[in-house]
Amino acid sequence: MMRPDLPERLFGDRLHEVAAVVDLERAEIVLSGWGCPPLDAELLARASNLRAIVHAAGGVKGHVTDACWERGLLVSTAAGANAEPVAEYTLARILLANKAADRLSRTYRQRREAIDLIAAYPEIGNFGKTVGIVGASRIGRRVVELLRPFDLRVLVSDPYLEGSVELDDLLQACDVVSLHAPSLPSTRHMLDARRLALLRDGATLINTARGALIDQDALVAELQTGRIDAVLDVTEPEVLPAGSPLYDLPNVVLTPHIAGALGVEVRRLGESALAELERYARGEPFAHPVTRADLDRIA
């Protein structure tokens, strides 16, 4: 149950090697993906044999309804597989931010002459810089792992992680701050005007999570001062109106939600989902389960 163009892209011929594809009335597992409709009580009434939902994408909140949990269905997600390209993209952006790559690229294009890098940019580089990770999610934890080989100090802020630092302290201490928290009522606009003002002069804020985590009006105001930089892969709304100043601000890198699985990367999601089908067939538990209790802290 997904967009019709997805099965070939996700699975190729492998799906038919793993499972028989049948109609909903006979199905034991729903293999879902982007475009899956809500699996509500009316739809589930047609699926008397259904035992599990395996989602070949990330978040399940859009289609796994209360009726699914009340029915006792098992749920699995490929969110871990989708975390990998997001973490890779974030790693690249962190290293480039500390190197002032985007800022220097803009300056070089404008001046069209030699730049005295030693005199004008004495603090650029990654050695000894401090990076803040907001949210110890799958992606946040993977980013921390990918940062280990580098000579960086890494701070993490997450209310569910014992020993993590307070968000205000992290914002004041870091050269780069990267957001990886879920979008929940409790996290909406967690970076408001007060907290954005805590960022160091010259700091870079990276958001590959959800636009709602930041008060966007406050962010625009802060960016218009030129005091900080931002790398925004997500915004609120997801597609900005044509008149948004974020398109034109020189200290903003704006991309159209490219960090997650795209192109050849979606095959990783398919492989993750097929591996869950194989585990189910062997009578093994899912490797990537989602429970109803998880919903309060996942995207």
Residues belonging to the chain:
299
Task: Dihedral sign for Cα 135, 190, 155, 177, please.
Answer: positive
Q: Which of 257, 267, 268, 297 is catalytic?
A: 257
Tell me whether residue 265 is one of the annotated catalytic residues.
no
Residue 285 DSSP one-character state: P
Task: Dihedral sign for Cα 255, 241, 133, 151, please.
Answer: positive
Strands 252-254 and 74-77: unpaired
Tell me whether residue 9 is one of the annotated catalytic residues.
no
With b meaning 16 or more CB within 10 Å and e meaning fewer, what string describes 202-236? ebbbbbbbbbbbbbbebbbebbeeeebbbbbbbbb
Q: Which of 55, 138, 142, 210 is catalytic?
A: 210
d(CA 85, CA 299): 17
Tell me whether residue 189 is one of the annotated catalytic residues.
no
4: buried, middle or exposed (CB in 10 Å: 19+, 13-18, 0-12)?
Answer: exposed
Whether the bond into 285 is cis, omega within 30 of 0: no
Q: Which of 25, 238, 278, 284 is catalytic?
A: 238
Q: 104: helix, coil or strand?
A: helix
d(CA 159, CA 190): 12
List the catalytic residues: 210, 238, 257
